[in-house]
């Protein structure tokens, strides 16, 4: 019976929990893909580097061969970029694969997640039979995490998940705050996962990826698909001490990262001008969209630390589901946050996109609100 209930939850998860489901929108609203502007998925609006598409075209005949096992060459490139050893890195078919792999290897009895946060942490912990406790973030505190309260709540917890910046709220922990949590959890024998999926969009230096050899209880997750706009290729990676990485590698498929994902990511990492332009353009559009949204009556707009903006629409009198449906009929997808624990129908999230798309979103919101 419990297995059946879990499978049913899985079906709901696939249908409702994540953004970026353009195929569903096309069918539901009778639109073409070209008609849709997708603000529901937090992907670099510049699109993938031109060199990535060219590399895939040049190497199309390579699909007759297996991809390199465990992505050794790609790991070497990443290791040089991160100033880490190759033995400290594991590649994943998206960061989500690594979340599930880690819970499989650690097999935690009781995990803690923030509420709200990315849903896959809790689902992964439950998939191995573990219990999950939620640590609530409060509207009256602007969803900021109170470190001391969190630390005092960690009794009997084996595994703690943190997303920095948090998804969907965009709140950011400083490096000093993360180290405080890391020290405490290390002393208490609690494993800490820090998901830095949006770290490349953050202007402050908050990453703790350099500390993985100093703490055996730390696993840091990263995504490569959001920044380089290649989510269809599914590329993520994790870093930790060598012993844990070896245990994870021994528990996964050796060909988990496909041929095109490997060659495309290797090329993407070399695109220095693209990386520089992305950071400049995202910053410009983020500030523009944030300021314009704040001028719309009855919206409470939270400052964005990454390439997405969290918005409280309660004062408009509309529900997130109603607004989602209203905009979708016009070809604009937003992220309804009602599937995040603790949020209900009062919140939406929108990605930062290019100026023309941002102006269209603003126009539609002004008309409908």
> pLDDT tens-digit profile of 65-115?
999 999 999 999 999 999 999 999 999 999 999 999 999 999 999 999 999
Q: Enter the CATH code of domain 50-268.
A: 3.40.640.10
Sheet holding 236-239, edge to edge: 89-92, 236-239, 218-223, 191-195, 159-163, 110-115, 131-136
pLDDT for 250-276, tens place per residue?
Answer: 999 999 999 999 999 999 999 999 999
Q: Is residue 304 over pLDDT 60?
A: yes
CA 107 from centroid of its chain's CA atoms: 22
CATH architecture, range 2-48+272-368: Alpha-Beta Complex (3.90)
Residue extents of the structural domains in the chain = 2-48+272-368, 50-268
Between CA 91 and CA 78 the distance in angstroms is 10
Question: Kind and range of the H or E element at 57?
Answer: helix 50-58
* Position 64 confidence tier, pLDDT thresholds 50, 70, 90: very high
309-355 tens-digit pLDDT: 999 999 999 999 999 999 999 999 999 999 999 999 999 999 999 99
What's the predicted TM-score (pTM) here? Answer: 0.91
Average confidence (pLDDT) over 41-65:
95
Q: Give one DSSP letter per residue of 236-286, joined into a string.
A: EEEE--HHHHHHHHHTS-TT-S-HHHHHHHHHHTT-HHHHHHHHHHHHHHH
The continuous run of DSSP H or E covering 195 comes out as: strand 191-195
pLDDT tens-digit map of 233-244: 999 999 999 999
Q: Where are the beta strands (DSSP E) in 94-190?
A: 110-115, 131-136, 159-163
Half-sphere exposure of 29 (CA within 13 A, CB side): 21
- The Cα 252–Cα 94 span in angstroms is 13
The per-type count for the chain, helices as H runs and strands as E runs, is: 13, 13
């Amino acid at each position: 019976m419990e297995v059946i209930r879990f499978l049913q939850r899985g079906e709901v998860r696939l249908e409702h929990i994540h953004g970026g489901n353009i195929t569903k929108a096309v069918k539901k609203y009778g639109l073409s893909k070209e008609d849709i502007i997708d603000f529901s998925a937090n992907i670099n609006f510049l699109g993938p580097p031109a060199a990535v598409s060219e590399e895939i075209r040049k190497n199309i005949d390579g699909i007759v061969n297996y991809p390199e096992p465990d992505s050794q060459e790609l790991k070497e490139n990443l290791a040089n970029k991160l100033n880490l050893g190759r033995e400290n890195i594991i590649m994943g078919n998206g960061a989500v694969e690594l979340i599930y792999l880690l819970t499989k290897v650690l097999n935690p009895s009781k995990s803690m997640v923030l509420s709200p946060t990315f849903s896959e942490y809790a689902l992964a912990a439950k998939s191995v039979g573990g219990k999950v406790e939620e640590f609530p973030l409060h509207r009256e505190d602007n969803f900021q995490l109170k470190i001391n309260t969190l630390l005092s709540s960690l009794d009997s917890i084996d595994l703690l998940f943190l997303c920095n910046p948090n998804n969907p709220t965009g709140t950011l922990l400083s490096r000093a705050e993360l180290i405080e949590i890391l020290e405490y959890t290390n002393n208490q024998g609690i494993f800490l996962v820090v998901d830095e999926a949006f770290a490349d969009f953050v202007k402050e230096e908050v990453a703790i990826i350099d500390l993985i050899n100093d703490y055996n209880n730390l696993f840091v997750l990263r995504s490569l698909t959001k920044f380089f706009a290649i989510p269809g290729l599914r590329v993520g990676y994790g870093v930790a001490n060598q012993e844990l990485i070896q245990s994870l590698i021994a528990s996964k498929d050796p060909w988990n990262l496909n041929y095109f994902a490997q060659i495309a990511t290797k090329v993407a990492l070399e695109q220095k001008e693209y990386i520089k332009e992305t950071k400049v353009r995202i910053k410009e559009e983020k500030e523009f969209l944030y300021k314009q949204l704040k001028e719309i009556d009855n919206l409470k707009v939270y400052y964005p630390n990454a390439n997405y903006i969290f918005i409280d629409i309660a004062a408009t009198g509309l529900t997130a589901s109603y607004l989602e449906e209203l905009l979708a009929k016009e070809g604009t997808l937003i992220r309804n946050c009602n599937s995040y624990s603790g949020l209900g129908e009062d919140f939406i999230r929108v990605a930062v996109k290019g100026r023309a798309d941002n102006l269209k979103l603003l126009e539609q919101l002004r008309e409908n609100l």
